[in-house]
Amino acid sequence: MSDNPVQLFSYDDDQPKDGRGMLIPPRIRSRAKSPIPQAGEAKKYSGTRLAATVLGATAFALVMVSGYGFVAQSTQVATPVVTIIDPYTQSSAILEFGAQKTLSKRTFFTETRDAFIDQELTFIEADISRNQLRYFRRGVLLLSTEIVSVGEKGSWWDAPSGLYQVEKTQERTFSNLSQAFLPKVITFQSNFAIHGHPVYPGAEKVGDDFVGGGIRIDDAAAEKFFAVAKEGVPVLVHKAEAAAPEFIYEPRVPDFGTTQYFIADIDNGTILASSDLEEVAPIASLTKLMTAVVASEKIDLDGRIWVTSPNFVTSLIPRLREQSSVSTYSLLQLLLVESSNEAAEVLAGEYGREEFMTAMNTKARQIGMLDSYFADPSGLSAENVSSVGDLYRLTKYIHEKKQFILEITADNAVPTSYVGGEFEGLVNFNQIEGIDSFVGGKVGETIAAGQTSVSLHTATFNGEERVLVIILLGSEQRTEDILTLIEYVENRFKD
């Protein structure tokens, strides 16, 4: 245990005091040692790797939870640093901006937040589990308000636990996806946002059934947060993970021909049958699932992209050669429904292809995919590899955090809560003939990879509907293999 443990700030202590981590009332705020930051000052965070020196045994206990461990630096530094330790290689790296599963743990999040306070950082804290939004100026809590609502679960506005930074602020912006104006918008990581109460074009405020938008606060609070949320300011987000539903299977392992396969209940994590979870193999267009995840976190999904159709890839159904610009959402449809290699390259090129590939591999490490590597955004290269265990981690992340991706793969129609989609008559390559239980997934096929597949299916056991995930690598008869595994589970576990 460290000789200098982090001092935790109590949420229940509502008495105004003058000090770091304490809410300062207006009458004594002039005593604070530093003024509200100016835009130029806040930008010192932009483009850096930021985190916190986290002390205490809890951080070390997270090693097996997420595939990484955190250790405190031995010396005090001006900017807090979190060191990530890979338990397999024992190599270290600095925590990147982005979603971080470890921050969904209450104790770890609190210690990280309090390390930020101790190091006198300026940052925004979004504690979604407690419906609380806060702004700290150099370790001093200046603003605090209730979160009224958050983005619909699984939508691209649904911000997972992580460390982000403010990218831009807008007085008012119109969302094509939700068909409403969002006031006082503070955008972080492209598609996550803090804002006031949305208003329809006719000036009518949205009702309680409104499913669009991000972290919503009341208009008065939005004004105050908007005034201080400068570009580059860190945003620390916590949202506790929901407990897995209680549903117990009695595992059996079938006699199955295909080399690499996997079937599990995606909600409670029970593996019903599997080959070696860590055996690495080419994955073909299953790569595009990670492409979609990174695009949704790095590119504005409510915007448009100028199309320069890459001449080094082809798609089975080319659709972009005559287009000058396409909505990002439409590119995701092409990517996921028709497995467009062109769409994959256009999305990667919008962010910067090299940077996009780095982001894909970084994201893989963040969610514990230690057996995976991504060489291109389309899956054409045989160097795009993974294991059934890693692909399950990716699918579970999408199922829990990016459900809209699976909605696109299941049906080429635009989800009812969004407006978009510029291509008619899309051919859904993911549909499985003779199977009506399919609710999302992705297929792939190359000479090196054979036939690959990630597919989700509904099934009823003991009167309760469950969602099963089936993963295949190196199959020679994908549809037949999926049918065989579904039949196996039904024979074993159905009434």
Distance CA 456, CA 435 (A): 11
Distance CA 357, CA 381 (A): 13
Tell me whether residue 224 is one of the annotated catalytic residues. no
Tell me whether residue 381 is one of the annotated catalytic residues. no
Distance CA 414, CA 479 (A): 26
Question: Whose structure tokens read 């962010």?
Answer: 351
DSSP sequence for 140-181: EEEEEEE--B-PPTTSTT-PPSEEEEEEEEEEEEEETTTTEE
Q: Which of 161, 339, 372, 378 is catalytic?
A: 339
Distance CA 345, CA 349 (A): 6
* Cα-based torsion angle of the residue sequence 434, 437, 441, 444 in order, rounded to the nearest 10 degrees: -20
Q: How do strand 234-238 and strand 123-127 relate by DSSP bridges?
A: parallel
Q: Which of 178, 285, 372, 378 is catalytic?
A: 285
Q: Which residue spans within 81-152 are E strands per DSSP?
A: 83-85, 92-94, 98-99, 123-127, 132-137, 140-146
Tell me whether residue 33 is one of the annotated catalytic residues. no
Q: Which of 288, 298, 363, 442 is catalytic?
A: 288
User: Are the C-beta atoms of 346 and 307 separated by less than 8 Å?
Assistant: yes
Question: Whose structure tokens read 């890459």?
Answer: 310
DSSP sequence for 236-271: EEE-PPPPPP------------SSEEEEEETTT--E
Q: Which amino acid is at 202?
A: G
**What are φ and ψ of residue 366, in 5° steps?**
-65, -35
Q: Which amino acid is at 83?
A: T
DSSP 205: B
Catalytic residues: 285, 288, 339
